[in-house]
Amino acid sequence: MSKFTKAEKSWMMYDWADSAYFLIIVTAIFPIYYKEVADNAGVLGANSTAYLGYTISIATFILALLGPILGTIADYKGMKDKFFTFFFVIGVISTLALFFVPDDNWLLLLIIYTLTTLGARGANVFYDAYIVDVTSRDRLDELSARGYALGYIGSTIPFIVCIAIILTAQMGIIPLSTSAASRTTFLITAIWWLAFTIPMLRNVKQQYGVQREPRVVVNSFKRLAQTFKEIRQYRTIFLFLIAYFFYIDGVGTIISMSTAYGTDLGLSATDLIIALLAVQIVAAPFSIVYGKLANRFGVKKMLYTGIVIYMIVCVYAMFLKTIADFWILAMLVATSQGGIQALSRSYFAHIVPKEKSNEFFGFYTIFGRFAAVSGPFLVGVITQLTGSSAFGVASLIVLFAIGLVVLMFVPWTAARSATADLDNTLEKSL
């Protein structure tokens, strides 16, 4: 790939910035810390895992409802920048607030965690949509993949620092309890997220959008309604979103509940954290590989590859018994976790008209977020009914299978030509 522009570099740096949140808070340290707090409060085993799943569902349900509406408003020039900043600030402040939650209050911990989720994922709605503002269509796949790769690399740095703090606290080298050390990692996450978002705030601005007009909110609802009326014109986009809804459901659920599942299997916090660190390291080069292979073999074929690998993960999860099994599972996830997310983002950017990117990325969010509601909820219900987390994880294979089948019916060539026609029409009308 040719030399990156300042805007492209700054856009990718946000992956570097907020990936620390998704690793430390969503995936690794917070779930383990929450499980300890919940267990101490008498909320044991599978029940505490289920409550975490329900909390994730509530937060993502709220964002799913807001996504298309906010995205449509953000299509007005200058509004995307304001919305991104608003959600980013909510995310950072609430992550800081986790540091101050008493270690015996599991319910308040989940409430604050809900706010962090709204902030982080809300900011991502507009961050993802910015990709059409910072680069050209022929660079979308590789730029998106490299952004994810940077995220994996960048998140390992604060993660290693956080692990060191927790381990040294456990060994008595530093005068902190394990609980205090865990809460300190939330503070580090917020500072990292804030510091490396500065280039994004300075150098990335909305380039495409519609002209501002009176009664912004009212007219945004009208534009949203008009999009639904023209649903046939955007058939390719919505067909892809249906496929995305199903397969990203499984991906997100495995990411957000992997440590809780490992804890239920009896694996130690140290084993889980080291395995997750290895996932970050392995996932970075594989994200780039996915981007390069997409240029050679096509985006859809690489998405198929990622989905099939995740189906294998679901089956293998049924047989996990030892730390070696967990490592094998973790490495399988690492090969495709970044690639499937990066190429989904760039694929969608390929097929949407630039001037309506925020509106459509709002739909991208609602499909992804509603999927994130159903996945953890499904795992929570199946886990409680069967008393086994393994059955909950295995049930996700159905979602990957449906996503794979629907994706086969998305016409890539037609999508690109239709989008080009839409872009040309919009450019002529502005």
Residue 126 and residue 359 in contact, taking contact as beta carbons nearer than 8 Å: no
Residue 367 and residue 242 in contact, taking contact as beta carbons nearer than 8 Å: yes
3-state secondary structure of 99: coil
Give CATH for domain 8-205+229-429.
Answer: 1.20.1250.20
Say how many CA atoms lie within 13 Å of 336 toward its Cβ. Answer: 24
| Integer Cα distance of 69 and 112 in angstroms | 24
Residue 24 and residue 30 in contact, taking contact as beta carbons nearer than 8 Å: yes
Give Cα 232 to chain centroid, integer Å: 29
Low-confidence ranges of the chain (pLDDT < 70): 1-2, 43-46, 67-68, 71-72, 74-76, 209-232, 256-265, 269, 355, 357-359, 362, 365-366, 368-373, 388-389, 412-430
Question: Looking at residue 428, what is its pLDDT?
Answer: 35
| Integer Cα distance of 172 and 405 in angstroms | 53
| Residue whose C-alpha is closest to residue 302's, from 347, 270, 350, 266 | 347
| Residue whose C-alpha is closest to residue 310's, from 337, 347, 284, 290 | 337
- DSSP code for 268: -
| Residue whose C-alpha is closest to residue 388's, from 159, 30, 45 | 45
Both tokens of residue 116?
Answer: 């962090």
- DSSP code for 175: S
Question: Looking at residue 167, what is its pLDDT?
Answer: 87
Q: What angle do the packed helices 140-170 and 269-297 form, to 10 degrees?
A: 170
3-state secondary structure of 197: coil
Both tokens of residue 206?
Answer: 């909305």
Question: Looking at residue 341, what is its pLDDT?
Answer: 86
- pLDDT tens digits for 99-138? 998 888 888 999 999 999 889 988 988 888 888 888 877 7
Question: Looking at residue 430, what is its pLDDT?
Answer: 31
- pLDDT tens digits for 313-366? 888 877 877 777 778 888 888 888 888 988 898 888 888 877 676 667 767 766
Backbone angles phi, psi at 76, to 5 degrees: -70, 135
| Integer Cα distance of 206 and 78 in angstroms | 6
**3-state percent helix, strand, coil for the chain, nearest multiple of 5:** 85, 0, 15
What is the biggest distance separating any 2 CA atoms in the chain, rounded to whole angstroms? 68
Per-residue HEC secondary structure of 9-65 comes to HHHHHHHHHHHHHHHHHHHCHHHHHHHHHHHHCCCCHHHHHHHHHHHHHHHHHHHHH
Both tokens of residue 306?
Answer: 């990622």
This prediction's pTM: 0.73
Tokens 């409802």 appear where?
65
Question: Looking at residue 113, what is its pLDDT?
Answer: 93
| Residue whose C-alpha is closest to residue 130's, from 245, 242, 209, 69 | 209
How many residues are recorded in the chain?
430
| Integer Cα distance of 217 and 221 in angstroms | 6
**In 10 A of CB 261, how many CB atoms?**
24
Backbone angles phi, psi at 210, to 5 degrees: -100, 155
